[in-house]
Structure 1
Amino acid sequence: ILQKLDIDFKRPGTGIRPDEIKYILGRKVNKDINEDELINWEDLI
C-alpha cells in the first residue's frame, strides 16, 4: 500500500504527476518497486 513517504516526485518526469498523488495514496501495487523506480498507472491495483 503506497504511503506519502514511499513516493518522491522528480523532474523532469514522465510518470505520475505530483498533482495526482491523491489518486495513488492508499493503493496497492502489483509488483515490487525499487527505490528510484518510476511508478506507472499500470503498476497500481
Structure 2
Amino acid sequence: MPTKTYSEEFKRDAVALYENSDGASLQQIANDLGINRVTLKNFDQ
C-alpha cells in the first residue's frame, strides 16, 4: 500500500483542530479527518 503524503497546511490545520476542540479525543478528530489516530499524533511532533 502506498504511503499517503499530507501537505504542511493539512498537518497544521489538523493539529490546530485537535488543540482547539474542547473535549474531543484524538481518535474523534482523526476519524472526522479520515486519517489514522497515530498519523494525527505524529503531525504534532
- The TM-score with structure 2 as length reference comes to 0.23
Richer in helix (by share): 2
- The TM-score with structure 1 as length reference comes to 0.23
- RCO higher in 1 or 2 (8 Å CA, sep ≥ 6)? 1
